[in-house]
Amino acid sequence: MASDDLTLADVGEFALIDVLAQVFVASARPSVEVGLGDDAAVLAAPSGRLVVAVDQMIEGRHFRRDWSSAHDVGRKAAARAMSDIAAMGAVPTALLVALAAPGSLPLAWARELAEGLATEASVVGASVVGGDTAESPTLVVSVTAFGDSGDRALVTRSGARPGDGVFLAGRLGRAAAGLTVLSRGHRQPKSVVAAHRTPEPPYAAGVAAAAASATSMIDLSDGLLADARHIATASGVVIDLDRSLLGGDDDVEAMARNFGLDVWEWVLVGGEDYGLLATFAPEAVVPAAFRPIGRVSELREGREGPVLVDGATHRGAGGHEHFMPPS
């Protein structure tokens, strides 16, 4: 049997771990005191604290093997978890990877997944320092990301104040457009398909936002309205988005028209763009990666909210939520 035809059931767990470890060791960083191959990894935390987040990608739910390569899935799994670290204003430094996979999974797919994970980690100088493998009917890639914030204050969801500006780093609606393209049997335009397969979180913008004293921040995973609601609720404010500042991607608008769809559903509700939504006080010097898209105002009894578009609640789907039937 050619080695490319081997499955996990052919080689077993320990050989799988060897293959993954070879990929990850090749990208190991000196900040790791104990890396792969022991009961646990040991991370340096020179600032005396560590930022941590976990995120899962589940086959059939978050990716399809006929729509994304293993390398794509690895890159996206790492990007999603590291995006959460960036959204706190920290720099991702290390990843742990838990892989649950059926025995029928090709060993080559697992190797390419590892290469994708290591590739995305290397974008920010991070590395995979350990993990776990187990047999499962459903393929699940779960990534725990670790980040260092140095001496900067961390940016939570709860610090937005009335009068702050609302800013966006990244683009909107492109991942949803890409998913629509794929689900209708097409493979292009490539730029939006790539936005779905391998989102590119603006990691550096997260650090810059923290350095510029952003008052709140979140990464755009659930969709703009849903994620703005997370900030508004945590901060006890209203976020008012300005529709004229949200559009701008002509190709995506044209695509929506071709499909007979409303581009605003992609822009406002479509998730997985992995940009950063942040608020800054009026006097802040906002980093260049961010553009203004709205304002924070006071929460008032009887007024609509907590997220408004041009002063009114958006009527339409509410964004992605797991376990619920699509709305």
Nearest-approach distance from CB 310 to its own copies, in angstroms: 25
Determine, following the binding rule CB under 8 A, whether residue 150 of this chain makes contact with its own copies.
Answer: no
Measured from the CB atom, is 231 or 289 closer to its own copies? 231
3 state SS of 142 = strand
Q: By CB neighbour count within 10 A (0-12 exposed, 13-18 middle, 19+ buried), where does 26 fall?
A: exposed
Question: Residue 276 and residue 169: Cα distance in Å, rounded?
Answer: 5
CB atoms within 10 A of CB 303: 12
- Report residue 229 as tokens: 């609601």
Measured from the CB atom, is 26 or 34 closer to its own copies? 34
Determine, following the binding rule CB under 8 A, whether residue 254 of this chain makes contact with its own copies.
Answer: no
Question: Residue 99 and residue 19: Cα distance in Å, rounded?
Answer: 13
Nearest-approach distance from CB 93 to its own copies, in angstroms: 11
What is the identity of the amino acid at 184? R
Interface with its own copies (CB under 8 A), residue from 4, 30, 66, 137: 137
Interface with its own copies (CB under 8 A), residue from 120, 164, 219, 273: 219
Mask: binding to its own copies, 55-84, rule CB under 8 A, as x and -? xx-x-xxx---------------------x
Interface with its own copies (CB under 8 A), residue from 176, 218, 237, 289: 218
Residues in contact with 33: Cβ distance below 8 Å, sequence separation at least 6, in sequence order? 42, 43, 44
Interface with its own copies (CB under 8 A), residue from 23, 36, 79, 88: 88
Interface with its own copies (CB under 8 A), residue from 77, 129, 214, 296: 129
Interaction residues for its own copies, span 274-303 (CB under 8 A): none
Residues 206/217, Cβ–Cβ less than 8 Å? yes
Measured from the CB atom, is 54 or 254 closer to its own copies? 54
Could you give the angle at which helices 190-197 and 250-259 cross, rounded to 10 degrees?
100
Determine, following the binding rule CB under 8 A, whether residue 305 of this chain makes contact with its own copies.
Answer: no
Question: Residue 34 and residue 43: Cα distance in Å, rounded?
Answer: 7
Interaction residues for its own copies, span 178-217 (CB under 8 A): 217
Angle at the Cα of 107 from the Cα atoms of 102 and 110, rounded to 5 degrees? 80
Determine, following the binding rule CB under 8 A, whether residue 326 of this chain makes contact with its own copies.
Answer: no
Interface with its own copies (CB under 8 A), residue from 5, 18, 22, 134: 134
Q: Report the b/e string of 158-186 with b at 16+ CB within 10 A.
A: ebbeeebbbbbbbbbbbbbbbbbbbeeee
Backbone angles phi and psi of 134, in degrees to 5:
-155, 155
Using CB under 8 A as the binding criterion, the count of chain residues that bind its own copies stands at 74
Nearest-approach distance from CB 174 to its own copies, in angstroms: 21
Measured from the CB atom, is 145 or 192 closer to its own copies? 145
Interaction residues for its own copies, span 24-53 (CB under 8 A): 33-34, 37-46, 48-53
Interaction residues for its own copies, span 95-124 (CB under 8 A): 96-98, 100-101, 103
Interface with its own copies (CB under 8 A), residue from 78, 85, 228, 293: 85
Residues 25/35, Cβ–Cβ less than 8 Å? yes
